[in-house]
Chain A
Amino acid sequence: MVRAPILLAAFALAVTSRGDVVVLAVLLGFGAGVADSGVAVAFALSSALVRWGSSSLAAIAGAQAVLGPAGWTGSAPAVASAWFAAVALVLAAAPRSTPRRVVALAAVAPFGAAAADVTMGSSAGAGLWLRVLASVVATVVITLLPQWRTRSRIAVAAGLVALVCAGFAR
């Protein structure tokens, strides 16, 4: 039950684009409750940090509002970095096995919101609606994905690729 307030805190940061990516990574890492997922989240959010050169979620959202969503703006490595980071965040989420679908959705919503932040994280204008849509889609995808045993390991690999791509993009 300790995970629930932590995930709620992470959701607040991801949705409002306030705070620091390191704090968001720590909250999502603890919220996931799996070491590999924590590493994957850290890599994925670090890739956004490296790409935009700022650890402020507001600055990352603001940059996307001006320059365009990270998912299709910039060089090929930059775009690839954004999508691999999103994949890492989606795979890092650990859905709860609960009969109540609302609870299951709420537990993975922070990861969906964070995935939207790194691909379509615009904080203003029409981009904001796109971001909301992306958050919902990512959250639903997380709940529909099967529970592979190697899921978190794949998430780590995707996060690492995102980080490397972000390094090349700079």
Chain B
Amino acid sequence: MTSTSWAEVVLVVAVVAPLASVVVAIALAVPLDDERWAVAGTSVAGLGSFTLLVAGQHPRVGRFAPDDLALSAAAATALLTLGCRRTSPAAVRLTAVTVVLAGVMAGQPGRPSTVGPAVGLAVVAALVAVAREAPRAVVAGLGAASIAVAWGLHVGGHGGASAVVVGVAVLTVLSITVGGSTAAVVVPTALVLGLRVAPAVSGTSAARTLAVALAVLGAALAVAPMIGGRLRSIPPSAALAAWTLVAASGAVDGTVEAARALAAGTAFDLLLGGPLALVAAVPGAAVLAAALSDGHGWPRAALAPLAAITLIGVVNARPARSPAAARVRAVDGLALGFAVWLVVRPTSWTWLHAPGLRAYTDGLVLAMAAGFAGAVSLALLGGRVDLAPLGALLVPGERTATHRRVIDWPSVAAAALMGIVAVALVRSARL
């Protein structure tokens, strides 16, 4: 664990920056819909977290002691918030970012907090309800899932851990279906909580049941868009998130090692949004496939067909939005760069803790060399290698923002309930 003075300063700045940008904007009487302050605050948070991650720093300030996973989640939250196409009001969005960053970074050195992210998720559920960023049914689902997470943490044991993971799965899937800034702030934090808690059930009968249930959820989410109608808008990242938790539960030996890589793939797929963005999940899928093929027991026999169904679903998924409307922005380019880095050199992402990728990286280097040589040869022979369609396949078109500012009392009541849950969690000795 490395901690220096500059790292401690960077940590505090990274956590506070999003909310501070709102305060500064209010103090300077800048209109709150001026997105420049929001971009600046979120960028500082993301850059700070990324700097600490790359520098191998694990600063400790008060109750903040982020590990690699927390820092990567913080960077992902910032990147997703910058990249989300449908956003809530800046004040709500930036408050939510600061809350989840504080929650995910809470803990002691070597003992990250599980209550911190849960508090963050409960507060975000309350903010979503207040900002009316999601339909009532989704708000109710987010609230119920937050309560399940809190109950699971309170109870502890295998049953409690299973409840937390199920709650995390519901939070993740619901927020992904809502999209926008809700998904940006909920998904990384929820997945971090799942990755921290799920190993507690690893190797037990609870893990096997949990993994199969989550795999059924993942398969259902993958094939749902094939049914059509409103289900078409469920992105493949929802299925990926479910499979991340399947891997984290450790029902089959070796699957835990795929969990972080799948989580990273989920974040990039969510950020880019196009059908081709699923390639970001290939490193995780490679580790998971190898673990499942080499595993033993009935969960392997149950998970394999569910993985096959998931594959059919994600391959046949048609984008809900027209790829013709695609416009690649700077943040998409940044995300694309990171995604390519992940796919090409996953072993350099040490926080993934994904061994067994040697054959993968060797083969990929050879494939890239052959592909590049082929492209150059084609160009020299007068052929045309048109990469333009790739942009549309990576980044879909935009959706316009819609804010409703009417007070909705059931939502306010749900927010109050989430506030009570958050307060109860803050008082927990496990924070």
Interface residues of A (CB under 8 A from B): 1-2, 4-6, 8-13, 16, 18-24, 26-27, 29, 35, 38-39, 42-43, 46, 49-50, 53-59, 160, 163, 167
Contact = CB atoms under 8 A, between A and B. Distances in A.
B286 A167 contact: no
Given A1-B383, A1-B386, A18-B363, A163 B308 contact: yes
Contact of A10 (B286, B312, B315, B367): B367
Contacts of B289: 21-22, 46, 49, 55
Interface string B267-307: 00000000000010010011001100110000001001000
Given A23-B364, A54-B294, A5 B372 contact: yes
Contacts of A20: 286, 357, 359-360, 363-364
Interface in B352-396: 357-360, 362-364, 366-375, 378, 383-387, 389-390
A158 B294 CA distance: 22
Contacts, number: 118
Given A1-B378, A167-B301, 9 more contacts: A2-B386, A2-B390, A6-B371, A16-B366, A18-B363, A39-B312, A39-B316, A42-B315, A46-B308
B311 interface: yes
B375 A55 contact: no
A73 B157 CA distance: 47
B385 to A, nearest CB: 5
Contacts of B367: 9-10, 12-13, 19, 23, 27
A8 B293 contact: no
Interface string B392-423: 00000000000000000000000000000000
Nearest to A43: B308
A38 B317 CA distance: 13
Contacts of A11: 370
Interface band, chain B: 35 or more
9 contacts: A4-B385, A8-B374, A9-B370, A13-B363, A20-B360, A22-B286, A26-B282, A27-B367, A167-B304
B311 A18 contact: no
A50 B375 CA distance: 33
A93 B125 CA distance: 48
Contacts of A8: 370-371, 373-374
Contacts of A38: 315
Contacts of B385: 1-2, 4-5
Given A9-B367, A9-B370, A19-B366, A57 B359 contact: yes
Given A19-B359, A53-B293, A58-B359, A4 B383 contact: yes
Given A2-B390, A50-B293, A59 B359 contact: yes
Contacts of B368: 9
Which among B308, B370, B375 has the highest number of chain A CB atoms within 10 Å?
B370
B366 A56 contact: no
